[in-house]
Each structure stands twice: as structure tokens, then as C-alpha cells.
Amino acid sequence: MHWAPAPVEHGKGHGGGHNRNAAKAFVLIEGERASLALINPKLNETALSAEHNRVTIKATGMDNYHALVALRSQDHLHESAIRYHYMHGKPSGESPSQLMAYEKSVLEIEPAPYAREHWRYLSNTDAKFLLRFKGEPLAAADVRLTTANGTTSQFRSDAQGMVVIPLPEDFPTVRAGRMGNRASEFILSAEHLDGTQAFTTTLSADYHVNPEHWQSTELGLAVVGGGMLFGGLITWRTRRRKEKK
Amino acid sequence: MPFWKNLSVIRKVVQLLAFLFLVYGSVFVGFYSADKLSGAFPVLSCAYDAKTADYCVLIPLQHQLGHRLGPALSAGMFSLSLILPILTTLGTFLILFVLLNKAFCGWLCPLGFFQEVLGMIGQKLRLNRTESLDDKLVDRIRPAKWLMLGLLVVLLPLASGLGFVGHELGDPFCKICPSRILTSLFAGQLNQLYIDTSSTGYMILSIIADLLFGLILVLSLTMRQPFCRICPMLALHALFRKVGLVKLVKNYTSRCEKCGLCAKACPMDIREIHTSKEKDILMPDCTLCGRCVEFCPDKGVMALKYAVIPIKVSDPQYFKERNKAQKRWEGKQKPSRRVKKDQ
């Protein structure tokens, strides 16, 4: 089970267009009978109810990241799905690191750190995560990456429970400019067996086309060099003029 | 002169600490806390930088004009809630401004510090430095900071929000800001140094940004504070300079007219400080570096004050020692080619 943004209804745009306080809908894929909650930056939980696995999150009046959590236990299997969602409102006064580190489920993938202002997960970059079991780092456990663009790969956490995920360059079409490309989704999932009990967790987030497709550092360096030459020319001319006087 | 008595050395130490904090601050305050600090620290460093602890006031100002006020006006909607974020931005800026006044520029700005360090390198490399620009050139350059503030920080973002110009001009100052490139480079990121080929507008803006950055790298070696002279922050500070607690005051004497050492010492070439008969000589271009006070040879003529408390007052003994220290630092200057030819 994992969280994903709800498909946009025709004519309604993305969650209210430019209104950043507009409600946002998410669906819990394969999440029947799961208990749902929204945890705000102050770690207060609000139970959510889903309609056909779809929940609509309204602004809580509090700024910063909120966690969408789905939990389900059946016999020996304990499942969780987590997603972080930024909401606008009054400053909470709390650091998002508190929410990320808060134990939301027994097995959990914690972003270390999650993207912040002017940052986002980008293709062809590394993203770091901490795998935790009962609040402690879980070493040598497999973490599977699945993207909406069709990539699947597997990684293993290190002795400190950290796992570095290279986000793939798998967008089928890339247009020049940030506005021309829609974000895609990635899901990280992990499993762990503890005696007779099995635990699974997923963390989903969006990732974007890396702007390196239309931004050239080499050209940038060349232009800086041009600027330096121009600066040298100005200095030389100023000096010549002064000497002539 | 012991370094702890030298105001310029003290200022450099403060600038260095500010630079480390503003560029690498998130290492000290935590990755997410950096954003919190950033909202309240209006100096020239920015949110594009991975490790920064601060945020330039010009970013929210452009975004609030371009993303909120402009679209709302174009849709025919106007309410107090639209200008409240802009007022909050300016309000938080003003609180810090009251405490520090234009000393932001001279004591905290990372780009200002970087230019000064390049200037010191230029001195040590014995590059033939232009200590003062021509009066005419200074007069021609001065309005540029107002143009940068009015056009790039206010008008173009607003016009972009209203739909008159493209998205590219939603935050045009950030797009050409050399501090964005500088602080991100110092944080080990090359991703702000680029040419953007996604549209003609973005391409032109990125070319201007990189050209400007290259230009500053070279000009700073031989010229004092080249970018500060056109910085919109200087203009924004100038608007509010009368409310700041840090003051630059002068007790005019008849000797001032003939002396002019204060104007020569001024890195911003504010020649009016030596002719002005006003008590308050905090000019729009001043960065409150205090060099004019250091290089004033007369007792009590110039002073840097925090409200009514004097921080630094001109003094003949200090002047002598400071002059010696300056000469020791500069060493023997290389004669120009013209002088060599004449010999």
C-alpha cells in the first residue's frame, strides 16, 4: 500500500490551481481497511476518513510539513504507508526534523533530509533515507525503489541504517524548462521480519526532471570567463585613460 | 597598532563570521532550521544555497509581488490580505534594519565581504588599483541601484504577475544576482552557475548573471566594491536609513573643507561626506563601514554611533596609528607604466 496524489478531475486543475491553501486530495493505493491519520508539525494526530481510498486534506492553518500515515495490521503482517505534504498557514514554530524523526510506524523510511524551500527531489541526483525499526536504525535491509516511469531497483541500508537512492533519469520525454515537465512519483518500500511478525512500509514522494537538461554549467563557466575578460578590458581602459591624463 | 584596536580588522572578523554563518549556517542550526532563520535575515545570501542559514529579503518581495499581488490585481481582486505578506516582509526587514541600519552592507553582506577580500588580494598582488572613481562616473552609477530596486525587484515581478511580461521576469533580480552564484559556489554547488536554454528570456537573464559575476571577480581586484554601487539592497536600505539606530555623525569644522581624507577613505566614493555641514551624514550609498571615521585626523569630528552611544569617534592618535598600519599592509606600491616610462 502507498500514497499517491489523487488524479486531477477534469477542469479542476491541480488542487485548486495557484491557491496554496486549497485542499489537496490523495489516494491510498491497495489500502483497504487501513486506519488513516494526519500528523501536524506539532505531532498532533487527526484521524482521517477515506472515501474509496481517497482522502482530501484541508489546510490545518499550520505551516510546514504534515505526515499522511496509513496503518494496517492483519494477523502477522503490519503495514504502513507514509507521505509528507507541505501546508501553508501560521508558522508552527517546529522543525520538520521533529516530524520526520517521530515514530509513525514500527518500520519506517525517514527522509534524511526531506527537500526544503527551493529544493525538490530531482532525477539523476542522490536522495538519502534512514531506515528505522522500532525507532532504531535498521542495517543491511533491502529498500526497493519503484517509479511511476517504470524503473525498479533495489538498494541496501548501511550499518547506520542509511540508504542512498540515486533517483533515475527515467522521464520518457523532457521539455526545456521547469514548467514544461510534470513531476513523477517514486515509492520506496522496505520489509522486515521480526520473529513471526512481518513489517512493511512505503514512503512516496514526487520527483522532477533535473534542470541540467536545459541548464549548461559548461556554458555558464564560459560566460563567466567572458565576464572576466570584459572586466579586464574595463580595468585596462580605465588605467590607460588615467595615464593619459 | 594592535589588531583588536583596528576597526577595519574588527569589521573583517565580523564579516568573516557572518559569511561563515550565512553561507554554512545550516551546518550549525540544522537543515530545516535554516529556513526559519532565513525568513528573518534579510541580507544578500539566498535560499538557492544548500547550506545557507539565511534568505534575502528580495526573494519574498519579488515572489509576493509576482505570484500574489500581480495575479490578484489582474483578476480584479484586491484585499488587505494581499498586501499583508508584503508588509510583513518589509516589517521584519525593518526590525532588523532598525537594529543594524546600513551596517548590514558593510558588516554582514557575504557578497560585500567577498568583494573586499578580492580587493585585499588585488592589493597584495600589487595590481594597479583604482582607489577612487571619477566623480562623473560615480554620479552616473548612483541611480543604477534605484533602477535595480524599482525595475528588477518591484516593477517586473509585478508586471509578470499581471501577465504583461513572461514568467522569466517573476524574480528577475534573483536571476541575475551574483550573490546567488557566489554563496552556492562556496557551499560546493555548481548548479547556480549555468546558462539556461529553456527560453530566450531565461537565456538572456542567465547570460547577464554569469557575465556580471565574471565582471565582479575581476573588477573587485582593482576597484572598491563594484557591485555594491548598483545593489538594490543598498537602495532599499537607503529608503529606511533614517530609522536605523546606527548613525554616522559629523561635527563640521572649517578644516573639513580642505582635508577630504574621509572621502578618500570611503570605498563607495561618497565625496559629499567631507563637504557636508549636516550633523547626520549617513548618505544613501553609505555601507557604514566606518572607514571615514578611522581616517578622520581631527578629534571628535566624525563618529559612528549606536543611538546615542559612540562606537567609534575620530581621534588624531588613532588616525596616525591606523595610517601606519594601512601603509604597512599596502607595502610599496608598484609604479604605473606611465611613471616607469617617464623615468
pLDDT tens track for B20-32? 888 877 777 666 5
pTM for the complete prediction? 0.80
Chain CA centroid to CA B319, Å: 26
* Nearest chain B Cα distance for residue A35, angstroms: 29
Q: What does the alpha-carbon distance between residue A184 and residue A169 come to, in Å, rounded to a whole number? A: 11
Q: How far is A223 from chain B (nearest CA, A)?
A: 6
Residue A118 belongs to a domain: yes
Pick the residue with more confidence: A116 or A124?
Answer: A124
Please tell me the distance from the alpha carbon of residue A145 to that of residue A152, in angstroms, as a whole number.
Answer: 5
User: Which CATH number is A66's domain given?
Assistant: 2.60.40.1930
B282: which DSSP letter? -
Please say if the pLDDT value at position A143 is more than 80: yes
Neighbours of A139 (CB within 10 A): 14
Q: End-to-end distance of chain B based on CA atoms, in angstroms?
A: 35
The predicted pLDDT at position A23 comes to 85
Instruction: State the Cα–Cα distance between residues A238 and A155, nearest whole angstrom.
Output: 60
A91's CB contacts (< 8 A; 6+ apart) are A63, A64, B36
> What is the domain extent for residue A46?
2-210
**DSSP codes joined into one string, B172-186:** HHHHH-HHHHHHHHH
Confidence of residue A13 (pLDDT cuts 50, 70, 90): very low
pLDDT at B36 over 60: no
Residues contacting B234, CB < 8 A, separation 6+: B102, B105, B145, B228, B284, B285, B287
* Res B227: pLDDT: 95
Q: Which residue of B has its CA nearest to A236?
A: B128
Total domains in the fold of chain A: 1
**Cell of residue B173, nine digits:** 533580480
Closest residue, chain A, to B340 (C-alpha): A243
Residues 6+ apart with CB under 8 A from A53: A27, A28, A29, A31, A32
Q: Which phi and psi angles does A147 have, rounded to 5°?
A: -115, 155
Q: Looking at beta carbons, which residues of chain B come within 8 Å of A180?
A: 198
Q: Residue B197: which of A113, A216, A243 has the nearest Cβ?
A: A216
Q: In a mutagenesis test of the B interface, which of A19, A92, A117 is the best target, namely the one with the most B β-carbons within 10 Å?
A: A117
* A221 within domain boundaries: no
Q: Nearest residue of A to residue B189 by CA position?
A: A217
In sign, the C-alpha dihedral spanning B262, B263, B269, B275 is positive
Question: Residue A196 phi/psi, 5° resolution?
Answer: -95, -5
Chain A: give the shortest CA distance to residue B163, in Å.
Answer: 14
Query: Is A89 in the B-facing interface, judged by CB distances under 8 Å?
Result: no
The torsion of the CA quartet B237, B238, B244, B247, rounded to 10 degrees, works out to: 120
**Cell numbers at residue A213, please?**
537538461
CB contacts < 8 A (A, B): 120
Rounded to 10 degrees, the C-alpha dihedral B328/B332/B334/B340 comes to 160
Does some domain include residue A109? yes
Classify residue B277 by its DSSP letter. Answer: -
In this structure, are strands A152-156 and A126-133 parallel, antiparallel, or unpaired? unpaired
pLDDT band at B80 (very low <50, low <70, confident <90, very high): confident
pLDDT digits (tens, 9 = 90+) for B203-255: 999 999 999 999 999 999 999 999 999 999 889 888 888 888 999 999 999 88
Q: How far is A147 from chain B (nearest CA, A)?
A: 25
Number of H helices, E strands in chain A: 2, 16
Percent of chain B scoring above 90 in pLDDT: 46
Answer whether B71 touches A (CB < 8 Å): yes
Query: Residue B296's CB: how many other CB atoms inside 10 A?
Result: 27
A243 lies in some domain: no
Grid cell locating A156:
541496501
Of the partner residues B128, B195, B336, the one whose CB lies closest to the CB of residue A220: B195
The CA distance from B338 to B343, in Å, is 9
Provide the shortest C-alpha distance from residue A39 to chain B (in Å): 18
Q: Tell whether A245 is covered by a domain.
A: no
Of B96, B104, B98, the C-alpha closest to B243 is B98
Subunit contact B32:A97, Cβ cutoff 8 A = yes
pLDDT of amino acid A150: 94
A180 pLDDT exceeds 50? yes
Q: Residue B321 in 3-state DSSP?
A: helix
User: Can you list the alpha helix ranges (DSSP code H) found in B101-199?
Assistant: 103, 110-124, 135-141, 144-147, 156-162, 172-176, 178-186
| Partners of residue A243 in chain B, C-beta under 8 Å | 336-338
Q: Are A26 and A57 in contact (CB under 8 A)?
A: yes
Q: Find the residue in B nearest to A217 (Cα).
A: B194
β-partners of residue A29 are A2
Q: How far apart are CA B338 and CA B340, in angstroms?
A: 5
Of A91, A113, A219, the CB nearest to B195: A219
A69 within domain boundaries: yes
Peptide bond before residue A113 is cis, with ω within 30 degrees of 0? yes
Residue B314 and residue B301 in contact, taking contact as beta carbons nearer than 8 Å: yes
Mean pLDDT in residue range A71-85: 94
Tell me whether A214 touches chain B (CB under 8 Å). Answer: yes
* For testing contact with chain A, the best of B195, B204, B221 (most A CBs within 10 A): B195
* B76, B165 contact by CB (below 8 A): no
Residues 6+ apart with CB under 8 A from A136: A161
Q: Do A217 and B191 touch (CB under 8 A)?
A: yes
Alpha carbon separation from B312 to B82, B324, B326 (Å, rounded)? 43, 19, 18
Q: Which residue of chain A comes nearest to B54, CA vs CA?
A: A117
B67 in contact with chain A, both atoms CB, cutoff 8 A: yes
What residues have CB less than 8 Å from B148, skipping those under 6 apart?
B173, B230, B231, B232, B235
| Rounded (10°) angle between helices B200-222 and B110-124 | 50
A215 in contact with B, Cβ within 8 Å? yes
- Is B130 part of the contact surface with chain A (CB cutoff 8 Å)? yes
- B169 CB within 8 Å of a chain A CB: no
Provide ipTM, 2 decimals: 0.83
- Which amino acid, residue B107? W
Is residue B116 within 8 A of residue B16, CB to CB? The reply is no
Q: b/e map of B252-266 (b: 16 or more CB within 10 Å)?
A: beeebeebebbbebb
Alpha-carbon separation of residue B258 from A193, A245, B90, B121, B262 (angstroms): 87, 23, 41, 32, 11
* Cα–Cα distance for residue pair A231/A209, rounded to 1 Å: 35
Could you tell me if B55 and B39 are in contact, meaning their C-beta atoms sit under 8 angstroms apart?
yes
Kindly state whether residue A218 falls inside one of the protein's structural domains.
no
Please judge whether B32 and A215 are an interchain contact, meaning their C-beta atoms are less than 8 angstroms apart: no
Residue B273: left if φ>0, alpha if ψ -120 to 50, beta else—which one?
alpha
Verify whether the Cβ–Cβ distance A239 to B336 is below 8 Å. Answer: yes
**Interchain CB distance below 8 Å, A231 and B30:** no
pLDDT band at B188 (very low <50, low <70, confident <90, very high): confident
Mutate to test the interface with B, among A21, A97, A130, A224 (most CBs of B within 10 A): A224
pLDDT of A186 above 70: yes
Q: Residue B5: which of B236, B339, B320, B327 has the closest Cα?
A: B320
Nearest to B217 among A91, A216, A231 (CB): A231
pLDDT tens digits for range B125-139: 888 777 788 889 999
Residues B306-318 have a mean pLDDT of 93
Would you place residue A116 in the very low, low, confident or very high pLDDT band (cuts 50, 70, 90)? low
Asked if A215 lies within 8 A of B211 by C-beta distance, the reply is no
Does residue A216 lie in a domain region? no
Q: A128 CB near a chain B CB, below 8 Å?
A: no
A117·B38 Cβ contact <8 A: yes
Give A-chain residues touching B198 at CB under 8 angstroms.
Answer: 176-178, 180, 214-215
Contact A227 B212 (CB under 8 A): yes
A80 and A107 Cβ atoms separated by less than 8 Å: yes
- Inform me whether the C-beta atom of residue B212 falls under 8 Å from chain A C-beta atoms: yes
In DSSP notation, A148-211 reads: TTS-EEEEE--TTSEEEEE-----S---SSGGGS--EEEEEEEEEEETTEEEEEEEEEEEB--G
